[in-house]
Amino acid sequence: MLAALLLAGAASQPRKAEAAPTFAKGADISWVAGMEAQGNKWKDKNGVQRDILDILKNDYQINSARIRVWVNPSGSYTNGYLNKERAAALAKRAKAAGMSVMLTLHYSDSWADPGQQTKPAAWAGYTFQQLMDAVWNWTREVMTTMQANGVTPDWVQIGNETNNGMLWNDGKASLSMQNYAWLVNTGNNAVKSISSGTKTIVHLANGYDNAVFVWNIGGLIANGATFDMIGMSLYPSASDWSSKVTQTISNANDMIARYGKPIMVTEIGMDYNQPAAAKSFVADIKTKIRNLSGGKGAGVFYWEPEATPGYNGGYNKGAWQADMKPTVALEGFLN
């Protein structure tokens, strides 16, 4: 941490991010690059083949793109691929399409989520100090790679679905909330050293689970962690989405009351074969997040809507059909 703070002081004057939308209506588009490399081409609802980002922005008012970054990923189009260079190329394309950009830093070589927060292989033997230094250096490398491509992200997640911390076992929250907090601080400080205006996010799954959020976010803050926003995931079913939204909004308002931080729902999704329910769900959570107390609702992102049925061995919560035409799900973002 000391090394990170000293480096922060020695860093060149950080740039400011460009103005983010008042309310982000977003899509995680991370699979787009790999899907295109596999030959996929999307159509709009009229069956006209168009660029997927053009369809998202101009047909569904999607104004923001979320892109994940892994440390040393495999070449797999589905479970790897997005190193910092490829992520920057996709971010550049999103910006050219008129979208704001959120980065999700997984601090892993592959998926990081509540069930796995595996250190990058290159970092496996590091001491905790070396781990913090690696987080600092890699975060800055990602940010400078983005800026070299003309992109200053509006938001950066420090980790992904870190319900029990990150970079296990050193940063496992149930083992050491302090270590987890220091890693979040290191990532936050690294982002700010490059772009002082970029907002940092701590993101947890199961946005309806207030107890987990109080334990995790409260624990971070009690241990001195600094970050700007609270991120949530929510993947309900067609039968329980209304109650799950109610619980998530209650949790969001509790987070605002306790900690005063804006709320961003950075992942939502529902089965593609329940498109009418998905549209209603998107419209409802969008409206209710936008109307959170104190104007603290910052946005909602659909996770990988461009995915087709069964993509990557069985993912079925995208918003495109096998004929490459969209379902009605994303119409919930309109207005």
- 267 catalytic? Reply is yes
CA distance 132 to 103: 19
pTM of the model: 0.94
Where does the pLDDT of residue 25 fall: very low under 50, low under 70, confident under 90, or very high at 90 and above?
very high
Catalytic residue among 161, 304, 306, 331: 161
Signed CA dihedral, 43, 48, 54, 59: sign only: negative
Between the alpha carbon of residue 182 and those of residues 88, 170, 213, 303, the distances in Å are: 27, 11, 18, 28
**Chain segment 210-268, per-residue pLDDT in tens:** 999 999 999 999 999 999 999 999 999 999 999 999 999 999 999 999 999 999 999 99
pLDDT given for residue 4 in this prediction: 44
Single-letter amino acid code for the residue at 234: L
Residue 276 has pLDDT above 70, yes or no: yes
Environment class of residue 176 by beta-carbon count within 10 Å: exposed (0-12), middle (13-18) or buried (19+)? middle
pLDDT given for residue 11 in this prediction: 42
Rg (CA), the chain: 19
Where does the pLDDT of residue 20 fall: very low under 50, low under 70, confident under 90, or very high at 90 and above?
confident
Q: In degrees to the nearest 10, what's the CA dihedral of 192, 196, 197, 203?
A: 10
Q: In degrees to the nearest 10, what's the CA dihedral of 207, 209, 211, 215?
A: -40
pLDDT given for residue 18 in this prediction: 54
pLDDT given for residue 50 in this prediction: 98
- 161 catalytic? Reply is yes
**Chain segment 42-58, per-residue pLDDT in tens:** 999 999 999 999 999 99
CA distance 191 to 11: 11
**E strands within the chain?**
24-28, 64-69, 100-105, 155-158, 199-204, 229-234, 263-268, 297-303
**E strands within 198-288?**
199-204, 229-234, 263-268
Average pLDDT score, the chain: 95
Please give the average per-residue pLDDT across 47-71, as a whole number: 98
Residue 80 has pLDDT above 70, yes or no: yes
pLDDT given for residue 14 in this prediction: 57
Catalytic residue among 36, 85, 141, 267: 267
Please give the average per-residue pLDDT across 105-120, as a whole number: 98
Where does the pLDDT of residue 7 fall: very low under 50, low under 70, confident under 90, or very high at 90 and above?
very low
Where does the pLDDT of residue 165 fall: very low under 50, low under 70, confident under 90, or very high at 90 and above?
very high
pLDDT given for residue 13 in this prediction: 52
